[in-house]
Amino acid sequence: MRYFIFISYKGTSYHGWQLQPNSITVQKTLDNALSVVLNEKISTIGAGRTDAGVHALLFCAHFDSISTDLSTNPKLIFKLNSYLPKDISVNSIFKVLPDANARFSAISRTYNYYISRIKDPFFDNSSWFLPGNPNVAAMNEACQKLLSHSDFTSFSKLHSDTKTNICKIYSATWEEKENRLVFTIKADRFLRNMVRAIVGTMIEIGFGKINIEEFEQIIVDKNRCGAGKSAPAQGLFLTDIEYPVEIFI
């Protein structure tokens, strides 16, 4: 049977989600926990890859198991959470159709990026400390430009194995919350490093280093070298993944 497992994790201590030789990753840690608790070899496939230091309030992976219906086992999540380290938690497990795929069945993904305008030790690993008062109105104007484009090569990690840089961005906005700025973006898919590159470039708008017209030209040019530096990983959170309801059994 195939299952979707929904988890949360703090990415500070991990080299991202995806399996890597000689590195501690979220996928490796989860696979190990599932294999031990279910007493069978389990290999998960994630909804995407998050880079080292990036967090997930909600992440999904799928796996196949020969065990009895896991979605009806009330003790399974407790056992998994008891085995997993404190920075990874299992939230739910659902039985899905045999061809359901955590990555390719997703309809949309949503990310938040957090900026702290004051030094705050409690947000040290979960936000970018950036003192000052960037022009949020100008940054929101730039958000509207994202919605009218689909090729985001300028915000993609160089030399990635992505076959296409076409994405559909559904919404993007900046909000001020006390001493924090929160960027929220929702799209059908994201390129590697895309959100952090967008944030880094928009901050240049906020501090008057580039204007809206120059921002849009960066998109049109399809050249990563023209965009700003990527924002630090610790401020980025994957917050939601949407799936069609019909894949859940």
Q: What is the pLDDT of residue 156?
A: 93
Contact by Cβ (8 Å): 51, 16: yes
Q: Is the pLDDT of residue 159 over 70?
A: no
- Say whether 9 sits in a helix, a strand or coil: strand
64 in catalytic set: no
131 and 26 part of one domain: no
Whether residue 9 is predicted with pLDDT greater than 90 in this model: the reply is: yes
Residue 225 lies in a domain: yes
Between 77-81, 85-89, 175-179, the lowest mean confidence (pLDDT) is in 175-179
- 161 pLDDT band, cuts 50/70/90, is low
CATH number of the domain bearing residue 153: 3.30.70.660
**Domain housing 46:** 2-104
DSSP letter assigned to residue 44:
-
For the stretch 183-230, pLDDT in tens is 999 999 999 999 999 999 999 999 999 999 999 999 999 999 999 999
Catalytic residue among 51, 120, 124, 188: 51
Q: Which residue has the higher pLDDT, 72 or 37?
A: 37
Q: What average pLDDT score do residues 77-94 get?
A: 97
Does 90 map to a domain?
yes
For residue 246, being part of any structural domain is answered with no
**Model confidence, pTM:** 0.94
Predicted pLDDT at 77: 96
The Cα 237–Cα 113 span in angstroms is 6
Residues 88 and 183 in one domain: no
Average pLDDT score over residue span 162-167: 87
pLDDT of 46 strictly over 90: yes
Radius of gyration of the chain, Cα coordinates, nearest whole angstrom: 19
User: What φ, ψ does residue 169 adopt, rounded to 5°?
Assistant: -90, 125
Tell me if 40 sits within 8 A of 67, measured CB to CB: yes
Residue 68 above 70 pLDDT?
yes
Tell how strand 236-242 and strand 128-129 pair up: unpaired
Residue 160 has pLDDT above 80, yes or no: no
pLDDT digits (tens, 9 = 90+) for 121-152: 999 999 999 999 999 999 999 999 999 999 99
Task: Look up the CATH number of the domain holding residue 81.
Answer: 3.30.70.580
* Total domain count, the chain: 2
Residues 131 and 207 placed together within one structural domain of the fold: yes
Q: Is residue 245 part of a domain?
A: no
Cα separations in angstroms, 21 against 3, 12, 28, 35, 205: 26, 18, 10, 19, 39
